[in-house]
Amino acid sequence: YDFNITDLQVEIVYPKPYNILTGTLSSNTTLSATSDYLLSGTVIVPSGVTLTIPAGTRIYGATSPAGALLIKQGGKIDAQGTATNPIVFSSEKSTGSRSAGDWQGIILQGNGIQTFGGYGTTAVGEGDVGNFGGTNDADSSGTMKYVRIEFAGAPFSPGNERNCLSLQGIGSGTTLQYIQCHRGYDDGLEWWGGAVNMKYLVAR
């Protein structure tokens, strides 16, 4: 047989050069929109610490150890995208191979009155995230605007899951607007009490 190759094109896909986020943040942290980030395991923003995420930043959740972002009571997130330049949280898998539950989503825990246990007391949040809730319905967990969360959520046991966006006792001082939850495991958004007023939500 006579076999000739006259035109061969090879596409090489290189791994993304991620900046790794892991463990508990020790101080206020500001990300850069010119870098890509990977949540490796549950990344915790503790009390007194603010995580600032500028418009256009891309953050990916690892599949193993499964990525998640947990804003604890007293911690804050300042994630303000724009309509034309949103902040995107997605799966580290390549486009076309992503699916619900690739990573474990975002959890905000506040000091507001919660509905998961006794009125005005603390409770243990779903997804093994520790205590939340209290008596301060004016509490602030920060700001999220123009944020898309994709392919997140995870089961821990029956009726015990993490979602795309879990809101546990979040107070009215928190601003949550223009949030899209896409292809999440379990719920797109789930509330446990609190007093936050959210606007412009999409979940599918």
Q: How far apart are CA 45 and CA 70, in angstroms?
A: 6
Q: How far apart are CA 88 and CA 81, in angstroms?
A: 9
pLDDT, tens digit (0-9, with 9 covering 90-100), for 66-81: 999 999 999 999 999 9
Q: What percent of the chain has pLDDT over 70?
A: 92
Per-residue pLDDT, 119:
81
Query: Pick the residue with more confidence: 156 or 201?
Result: 201
pLDDT, tens digit (0-9, with 9 covering 90-100), for 84-135: 999 999 999 999 999 999 999 999 999 999 987 778 889 999 988 999 999 9
Q: How far apart are CA 164 and CA 153, in angstroms?
A: 5
Predicted structure pTM score = 0.90
**Going by DSSP bridges, is the β-strand pair 154-157/160-162 parallel, antiparallel, or unpaired?**
antiparallel
Find, among 177, 173, 180, the residue nearest to 194 by Cα.
173
